[in-house]
Chain A
Amino acid sequence: QSALTQPASVSGSPGQSITISCTGTKSDVGAYNYVSWYQQHPGKAPKLLIYELTNRPSGVPDRFSGSKSGNTASLTISGLQAEDEADYYCCSFTTANTRVFGGGTKLAVL
């Protein structure tokens, strides 16, 4: 159950787009479309942004989108805003019926 691999940090300017990658294996990310993404601000609980690879819960702006290619999932944030500065985590269902998170990515909005 190794953690999924995410870049430690990414940055972008307001209005720009950024993409965060999440690399797993054929036993997790590559096996299903059950990848979800979470946003966490300091001192707060995580918040679900994307579920089932591409779906947004009610209230999540369409600036947030998800995709996948092979064993790598991606979260794209377009039209960056200052409030997007946070930590982002991917999570995948696995062939062992467990879940595994990525190591997390710190997004800086410059």
Chain B
Amino acid sequence: QVQLVESGGAVVQPERSLRLSCVGSGFSFRSYAMHWGRQAPGKGLEWIAFISYDGREKYYSDSVKGRFTISRENSANTLFLQMNSLRPEDTAIYYCARDDVYSLNYWGPGTLVTVSS
């Protein structure tokens, strides 16, 4: 069965960096585009980044463009999110999700990032 598991969440100070990982299993990881989304405490879902199956196309939300970078290592079935210049408003649960027909079909359980001094 399709499984996605995020890791790397932590408590980090403002302006610092953090890298999240997401390992996929149960499917051909290299054949699917992937997304990162997030959910601040008590708030709604926010889409933040997309990467095509081969890594050639990347798109970002305005809220993270220029600070966050999505990437993937297909040989390791792993998706990454490099987060720089973190702000308190980036505090959220971060989810990775598999793309299927322009939707986010399978989601991981999420990893919590807290930005606080």
Interface residues of A, Cβ cutoff 8 Å to B: 1, 3, 32, 34, 36, 38, 40, 45-48, 51-52, 55, 57, 87, 89, 91, 93, 96-104
Contact = CB atoms under 8 A, between A and B. Distances in A.
Interface residues of B, number: 25
Nearest to A52: B101
A87 B73 CA distance: 33
B104 A46 contact: yes
Contacts of B106: 48
Interface of B: 35, 37, 44-47, 50, 57, 59-63, 95, 100-110
B74 to A, nearest CB: 21
Chain B's interface: helix, strand, loop or mixed, by majority? strand
Contacts, number: 70
B95 A45 contact: yes
A100 B100 CA distance: 16
A15 B13 CA distance: 49
B44 A91 contact: no
Contact of A99 (B35, B44, B100, B108): B35
A74 B106 CA distance: 22
